[in-house]
Each structure stands twice: as C-alpha cells, then as structure tokens.
Amino acid sequence: MALRILKWFAGIVVGLLLLVYVLVFSPIGNFIFKPVVQSQIDKYSPVPLTLSTFSVGLTGLDIVIKNEPKLEITLKGDYNLFTLNIDTALNINASDISLFDEVAGMPLSGAFVLEASAKGKVFGALSAEAHSNIAKSKTDIKVELQNLNPLKIYADIVHLELAEVLAMIGQKPYIEGVLSLDADIVGNENMEFSGKNILEIKQGDFSQRLIAKDFGIQVPKTTFTIRQESIFDKKDIKQDFVFDSNVGKITLSSTSNIESFDTKGVYSIVLSDISAFTPLLGMKVRGALRTEGSIEGGLENILIAGKTDIADSASTYSANIVKSALAKVRFDTQNLRIEKLLYMIYQPQYISASVGGKAEAWDFDKGISTQANFSLKGVTSNPVIKKEFDLDMPNTPFNANLSAKLDKGVGNANLIFDSNLARLNVPNIAIDLHKGAYSSPYSAILPDLKKLKFATKIELVGKFEANGDFALSENLKATFHTKSLGGNVDAELNGDNFNAKIKEVDLDSVLSMAQIQKVFSSKVNGDLVYNTASEKGTLKARLDNGRFLKNQLTDALKQYAKFDATGLVFNNISLNSDINKMVLNSALNMQSGDFSLSGQNIITDLEKSTINAKLKTTLKKDTLGIKLSGNLTSPKVELDLGELLKSRLGNEVQKSVGKEIEKALDKHIDEGAKKEIGNTLKKLFR
C-alpha cells in the first residue's frame, strides 16, 4: 500500500515537473509566455520595443528585443539549473539615440554599445564585467565575487554625459554634466575592504529651458561640480561629498560601518537661490536656504537633527527613521516669516506675518499622530488681495493661535483669530483624517460692519455677533444663529444651499444697520432661500405690528388726502422678493382699515445702493401714486396726484352745481320731483 502511495506521489511530481517544463522551458511554453512578456515591456518601457526572440530552456536562453533599426538588445547564454553555473552575455546596440527624443524633451544624437558578461558559479567564484561607450563615455567595470561577496571591484568611467543617461532611463534631463568614476576596491570573505572610490561631475548645469517649459518659471543660470570620495578601511567607509555651485554649497561628511550600517556624519547646505532645484523637489521653489545638522544611527534607527534660518526664522528640526521608514518628526520655529515662505513656494503674499511654535508628528503609517501649538501675528496685504480676489480689503493687523492634538488621525484642534474686522473662536474642532471630516462649534464677532464694505458691497454700520456649528466632509454644512437684528435669525448652509428662518426681527435694527431712512417700523418674520453658487434665491416675509414713521410719504398723505398715516397699525404685511445676485425684485402689499399700500416689481440694487419702485396708496376711494428712485438711503420721492385731485375736484364741482340746481328747483318743481332729479345729477359727478 505504501509503495502504491509512493508511486502515486512520484507520478504527480513527475507530472508537475513535465507541466512546468512544458509551460516554461519548452517551445510551447515560450510561445505562451512571449505575449505576456511583451505586454510588460509595453507597460514599462519609455520607448516602443518588440520582443522578436524569446527562447528560455533548461540549459540556455536567447532573448532579443528590438526597435528597428535604432536599438537591439540581446541576452544570450548557457546555465545549469542544478549546479548554478552560468555563462551569459548581454549586448545592447543603440545605433541612434534619437529614439529617446520624446522622453528627453529635446533632440538627441549619437550611438552607444554595451557589452556585459557573467561567468562562473552563482554561489562560488563568479566574475562579471561590462564595457561601453554609453552616453559618449569610456566605461569599464569588473567585479569578482565569492559566494556573492565582492572580492574586487574595479570601475573606470570617463566622460559620461548625464543628460543622455537620464533620457535613456525615461527621465527628463533637467541636469546636464559629465561624470567620471574611478573605483579600485579589494575585499575578502569577511567583508573587509580597502581602497577608494572617487565620483566627480564636472560642467554641471541645470536646464533653464526645460525648467521654464515644464514648470513655467525662469531660473538663473546655475552651474555646479560634484565630488564624492569614499575611502574603505576594513569595515568602515569614510565619505566626503561636496556640491559646489555659483549659488552655494552642499557638503556631507560621514563615517559608516559596512556590516551594521551605523553612520555618523554632519551636513551643511548654504544656497542663495534654490529655484534650479525645482525639478528635484517636484514643486516650484525659490529663495535662499541655509541649514546644518547631523546624521547618526543605523538601519534600525537613524536620527537627523539640524537647524535652519528658512524664511528668516530661527528653527530647529529632527527626524527619526526606523527600519527605513519615517517614524517621528519634530519642528520648533520662532519668527518664521510667512510672506517669505509664500514667496519661496511661488504663492501670493496675502499676509505679512510672523509664526512661532512647535510641533511633532509620528504614526505616519497609521493616519498620523501629532501635537502642535502655533501663534501667528501679522497684517494682511491690500495690493495682493485686491489683485488675487478683487477685494479692496484694507491692510488689517491680526493675531491667531492654533493648537492640535491627533492620535492616529483622530483628534481635536482649537483656533482663535482676532482682528479689528472679525473675531473668530473655533474652540473644539473634531478631526478625522481617515474620513476627511472636520466639525466644531464656533462663535464670531464683527465689531464694526462699516469696515467690511469691501466684502458686503454695501456700507453697513454697527456690531454683529453670531454662533453655530460647522461640519466639513464631502461638502460644508453649517448652522448660524444671531440676535444682532433684534429678533432671531436661524440659518443653515448645506453645500451651496443657504436657508434662514427669520423670527421677530426688528425692522428698525435692519434699517439702522443698512443706513436706510427709517420710514416704517415693524417685526419681521419669514424665510430666506439662497444658492451661493448661482447667487439666486427668494425671500418671503411677513411684517406685523407695523407703523409709519413721519416721512415724505406721510407728509404727502396729510397734505393732499387730509389723512395722518402715522396713527395706523399694520399686520400681516407681505413682502416677497426674488434675489438675483445683489438685486431684489419685490412685491409689497399692506393694509390697515380703509388705507392700503402696494407695489410690484420693486427693484432694489444692494451693490449700487439704489431703488426703483412704483407704489399705490388707497384711502377709501382716493388713490395716490408714489415713485421712489435713486439712492436707497435717501431716495427721491415723486407723487402722482392725478387721481387724488380728480376725485377732490369732482366732489367740489358736485357740491357747487348741486346748490345752484336746488335753488332753481325750489322755484318750479315740487318736492318729490326735486329729490329724484337731485339724486340723478349727483350720480353724474361721481
């Protein structure tokens, strides 16, 4: 029974091996896998390449990749999967490197050949060498290994052009220069080495043309040289790196242990203009940078600590790197100038301010934990804000304080902002970075509305206070409550939609705030619906307990209609408005006893502070037309007395004619006929 099982198991193994052979090493397997390999080449190659030959067997391989007639790559050789002996050769023949023009973003010319080989036993004695004229260089490299440990490394590279190398690996040649390398290092199986390595880049230059094209900025001509010297002393490597340019210098000196990777070193960066480094940082930068510090630690934990005067500050920083991952960052700054920082990253300098504070952050792989406290003191910049936002905001001094505490992406923050335009207190901002959600109660005070005309477009006066809550995730939701208008206004913002409930608001307070002549007093209730994106909405208001105050209208009614409207009380007044940006189109209807006032298409332009309205008043059977126009705070009042005078004149004529007729009738007609005729004539004058 056991023998059967063993035979059965052996049969399965043999079958699997045959299947693997068929799928991988046979012509059938090569035929199956060739399209798969081609698809990966298409995916990752910066230039079009064709896999013309793909043959992988148990004892050898033959692979040819082409872009005819400009490039041919051949990998060919023999190997033994059981002894791990190899004898392979790689040949790259690039007869025309204009193939890389599009990748480089510039025309290239020239050709190169690379010949490389490896021979020996993978886990025994193995030698490899390469020879090339790549990037117009003369390159010779030889390496001898024993059990994959390097015993000898020799490299001699002369006049390798960086721009061509970058283009060939799919990177734009923002940096140009000529590289040379001289390495002669001898080692043993104990991983002890002697010798040195010198790398130099001369005629270094940053491509002003490419940086301007890709980032839209002009950078000064920046030339440089680089020298890195490494001296091997058994298990230690002493390294000195110098970047020397017309804009400053970068230096690094360190000693590292080959076995433990423990490193100790110091660095210094002194640059008068960093704009040429824009491509390396991936963002537009400029200005000066000075920093110095130390590096200490190994693979398990490296500490980088230093100081800098970035943006005129006095700042210190540190970063812990644990097992090749950023573990913790600390930053402490005093007098960091925000306008200088904005300048350095090509942002408008909205404010001129000084920042002080400290922060530390960790748990970068878990959503980030942090503790931070910062204070900000400065003044806004009128010219910049006017240019960027078309707001004529005056130069405004302000103070701000921000503190935050997060645990793995969740926590709280506090913000206090104070200026002569506004005071804002956001005392408990709940933060969830995983959900991208922020919420908090808030309170705001606008101490002098008159100073906000640049934002409101109309001149308001007085003080305004409000409070509420906000929540920001996919969109902004906020509530708003104020009693600054005598009653209550409760509002809600949901994305672009704004809704407000108006309850018992004092019209006197509203008119006073808007500096509009007080012609009427009442309590206002209603609903405001507005869309902030379209800037359109509606206002449906009801006014109660309304009374006319002495004004041009009441004076006209008293003079021409012999009626004092200031004694009337109005309830259930309707005022409905359609809002289009800063223009209101309103309808008004109000009545008290025999008196009524109404109007349609009342146009109020809040931005221009103008009104254009035609109103109609009715007192019993008398009517008076009123036209309001001009400045909203003191409009021109025009009265249409036609209907009123016609009515009054008709009454007077009726009385005079009636008296004369009665005298004539007394002489010639009896009482019954006289009465009938008199009634008929009266009707004619009505």
Over residues 466-488, the mean pLDDT reads: 93
Residues 397-428: tens digit of each pLDDT: 999 999 999 999 999 999 999 999 999 999 99
% pLDDT > 90, the chain = 56
Average pLDDT, the chain: 86
Report the C-alpha gap between 456 and 582 in whole angstroms. Answer: 10
- Residue 445 predicted with pLDDT over 50: yes
Cα 331 from chain centre:
23
- pTM of the predicted protein model: 0.75
pLDDT of residue 671: 57
The angle subtended at Cα 614 by Cα 612 and Cα 619, nearest 5°, is 145
Comparing 4-18, 136-150, 247-261, 343-357, the range with the smallest average pLDDT is 4-18
| DSSP one-letter string for 220-281 | ---EEEEEEEEEEEETEEEEEEEEEETTEEEEEEEEEETTT--EEEEEEEEES--GGGHHHH
- 288: which DSSP letter? -
pLDDT of residue 258: 87
Question: Taking the domains of the chain in order of start, what are their residue ranges?
Answer: 1-44, 59-154, 502-640, 648-684
pLDDT of residue 498: 93
Residue with tokens 């690094």: 252
Give Cα separations from 636 to 227, 325, 520 (angstroms).
83, 74, 17
Number of other residues whose CB lies within 10 A of the CB of residue 296: 15
Residue with tokens 């309205």: 613
Contact call for residues 161 and 136 (beta carbons, < 8 A):
yes
pLDDT of residue 482: 94
Residues 3-49: tens digit of each pLDDT: 444 444 444 444 444 444 455 566 777 777 788 888 888 888 888 88
pLDDT of residue 679: 53
Report the C-alpha gap between 571 and 592 in whole angstroms. Answer: 8
Contact call for residues 587 and 614 (beta carbons, < 8 A):
no
Closest to 206 (Cα-Cα) out of 217, 219, 193: 219
- Residue 673 predicted with pLDDT over 80: no
Beta strands in 298-448 (DSSP E): 301-308, 314-322, 325-337, 351-362, 369-380, 397-407, 410-419, 423-432, 437-446
- Residue 653 predicted with pLDDT over 50: no
Residues 306-361: tens digit of each pLDDT: 999 999 999 999 999 998 899 999 999 999 999 999 999 999 999 999 999 999 99
Number of other residues whose CB lies within 10 A of the CB of residue 226: 17
pLDDT of residue 685: 40
H or E, element range at 645: helix 642-668
Report the C-alpha gap between 314 and 318 in whole angstroms. Answer: 14
| DSSP one-letter string for 462-507 | S-EEEEEEEEESSSEEEEEEE-TTSSEEEEEEETTEEEEEEEEEEH
Contact call for residues 313 and 334 (beta carbons, < 8 A):
yes
Per-residue tokens: 9: 């198991």
Per-residue tokens: 340: 């200088």
| DSSP one-letter string for 507-549 | HHHHHHHTT----EEEEEEEEEEEETTTTEEEEEEEEEEEEEP
Specify whether the backbone of 390 is left (phi greater than 0), alpha (psi in -120 to 50) or beta.
Answer: left
The upper half-sphere exposure of residue 161, i.e. CA atoms within 13 Å in the direction of its Cβ, equals 14
Closest to 227 (Cα-Cα) out of 246, 237, 241, 238: 241
The angle subtended at Cα 104 by Cα 101 and Cα 105, nearest 5°, is 80
- Residue 2 predicted with pLDDT over 80: no
- Residue 622 predicted with pLDDT over 80: no
